[in-house]
């Protein structure tokens, strides 16, 4: 069997991280991995998460198996967090998954089971795992350009590329803090996507992995909730990795929203059958922690605001400095983007120069994690960007 083993290239991100760790320069900056970092460069455990974990440890509840749908209390909480006070809360079928990526794979398998000929339309650039997950389920993926014009999403270009979308196809949209561009639709552009999906009978799949990292939990879900008001069928993948810092606990959820309540039990059974054949059921610890935070959210949301404000402050400081230095307008757009990520308007060669000359590590396609930056490094980064763009 192993004589047929192909030579497989490793993940370029982790290869670059290994190179960063081996770099001995003192001014090096890691803007690679998509995790939040504080001013000390650490990914902290939220205080409210620590308190929840202590409470769970003290209670020492049974470690026996839970339901195939996961933690039912968590499922109710995450649905309300995503949908708000929508009257469609009783029209959602939600199951806990192994992180947001697990939610995407469960939904991909659902699509492949029910509509195997559907084309999945994915933003380009887009989250690097969207295409492999969808193709891993046997689905066809087609890209549509996701770019900005003066910091605003160039939606006409999106629709040019989506012209061939047909009834039953899937449109992946990022609920907020687009990964990797940081370019989110305006609310009127969300409405244009809704009109498109209704006219074309295309099913939206909204991946909302960063709710609370852009403007706020309510504002970041505005586009998704607008969709929920107007389309009958919608798929949602969500995660607590970022907004609760539960990265390695792999706590996420997959949701199917449909007004045909008679189908809900069959949907749940099918979703559970998909997970049963994959990982059986999701781990409970992260969802138990999340449930405690959802039960009493004020202190947790305050901590989340600190993370969000730090990222926004970094964007503002970098943008102002680049403006003062009369940098190219495409660089200054960083202030109008949201969330942890931005796409630098640099070539692969310029990104290499940024790494080799200045020890600043980003992906060759220009993606950087703003949260990997410290305030004391903003000036150094701005000067390095100006240098490599000369």
Q: Does domain 2-45+300-389 have CATH number 3.30.870.10?
A: no
With 0-12 / 13-18 / 19 or more C-beta atoms within 10 angstroms meaning exposed / middle / buried, residue 216 is: middle
Q: In this predicted structure, what is the pLDDT of residue 25?
A: 94
Please identify which residue in the block is written with the tokens 């640099």.
346
Six-digit token string for 276: 């049963």
Could you say which DSSP state residue 117 is in? T
Six-digit token string for 182: 């940081």
With 0-12 / 13-18 / 19 or more C-beta atoms within 10 angstroms meaning exposed / middle / buried, residue 279 is: middle
Model pTM score: 0.95
Taking a C-beta distance cutoff of 8 angstroms, is the pair 181, 341 a contact? yes
Report whether pLDDT(271) > 90.
yes
Taking a C-beta distance cutoff of 8 angstroms, is the pair 284, 66 a contact? yes
12 pLDDT tier (thresholds 50, 70, 90): confident
321 pLDDT tier (thresholds 50, 70, 90): very high
202-248 confidence digits (pLDDT tens): 999 999 999 999 999 999 999 999 999 999 999 999 999 999 999 99
151 pLDDT tier (thresholds 50, 70, 90): confident
Q: In this predicted structure, what is the pLDDT of residue 390?
A: 82
**CATH second-level architecture of 65-295?**
3-Layer(aba) Sandwich (3.40)
- Give the start-to-end residue ranges of the domains of the chain: 2-45+300-389, 65-295
Give the closest residue to 99 by CA, choosing from 206, 207, 281, 241.
Answer: 241
Average pLDDT over residues 262-282: 95
Mean pLDDT, rounded, of the chain? 95
Could you say which DSSP state residue 334 is in? G
Six-digit token string for 143: 């890209």
Taking a C-beta distance cutoff of 8 angstroms, is the pair 95, 70 a contact? yes
Helical ranges in the chain per DSSP H: 12-22, 47-59, 72-83, 99-114, 130-136, 155-161, 187-200, 217-220, 222-230, 264-276, 285-295, 298-324, 329-332, 348-358, 378-389
Please identify which residue in the block is written with the tokens 């703003």.
370
């Amino acid at each position: 069997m192993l004589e047929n083993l192909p030579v497989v290239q490793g993940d370029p991100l982790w290869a670059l991280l290994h190179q960063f760790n081996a770099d001995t320069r003192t001014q090096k900056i890691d803007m690679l991995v998509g995790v939040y970092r504080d001013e000390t460069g650490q990914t902290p455990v939220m205080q409210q998460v620590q308190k929840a974990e202590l409470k769970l440890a003290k209670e020492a509840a049974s470690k026996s198996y839970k339901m195939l749908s996961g933690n039912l209390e968590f499922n109710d909480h995450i649905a309300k967090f995503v949908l708000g006070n929508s009257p469609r809360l009783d029209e959602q079928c939600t199951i806990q998954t192994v992180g947001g990526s697990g939610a995407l794979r469960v939904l991909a398998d659902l699509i492949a089971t029910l509509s195997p000929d559907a084309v999945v339309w994915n933003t380009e650039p887009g989250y690097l795992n969207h295409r492999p997950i969808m193709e891993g389920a046997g689905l066809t993926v087609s890209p549509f350009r996701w770019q900005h014009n003066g910091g605003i999403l160039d939606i006409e270009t999106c629709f040019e590329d989506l012209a061939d979308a047909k009834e039953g196809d899937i449109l992946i949209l990022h609920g907020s803090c687009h990964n990797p561009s940081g370019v989110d639709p305006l609310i009127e552009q969300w409405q244009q996507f809704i009109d498109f999906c209704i006219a074309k009978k295309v099913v939206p799949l909204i991946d909302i992995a960063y709710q609370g990292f852009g403007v706020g939990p309510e504002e970041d879900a505005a586009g998704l909730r607008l969709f929920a008001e107007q389309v009958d069928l919608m798929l949602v993948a969500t995660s607590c990795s970022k907004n609760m810092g539960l990265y390695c606990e792999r706590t996420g959820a997959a949701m199917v929203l449909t007004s045909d309540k008679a189908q809900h039990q069959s949907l749940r059974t099918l979703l559970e059958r998909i997970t049963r054949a994959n990982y059986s059921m999701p781990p409970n610890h992260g969802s138990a922690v999340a449930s405690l935070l959802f039960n009493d959210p004020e202190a947790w949301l305050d901590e989340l605001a600190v993370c969000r404000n730090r990222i926004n402050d970094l964007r503002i400081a970098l943008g102002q400095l680049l403006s003062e230095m009369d940098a190219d307008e495409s660089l200054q757009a960083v202030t109008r983007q949201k969330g942890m990520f931005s796409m630098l308007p640099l070539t692969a060669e310029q990104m290499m120069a940024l790494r080799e000359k200045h020890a600043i590590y980003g992906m060759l396609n220009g993606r950087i994690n703003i949260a990997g930056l410290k305030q004391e490094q903003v000036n150094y980064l701005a000067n390095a960007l100006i240098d490599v763009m000369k």
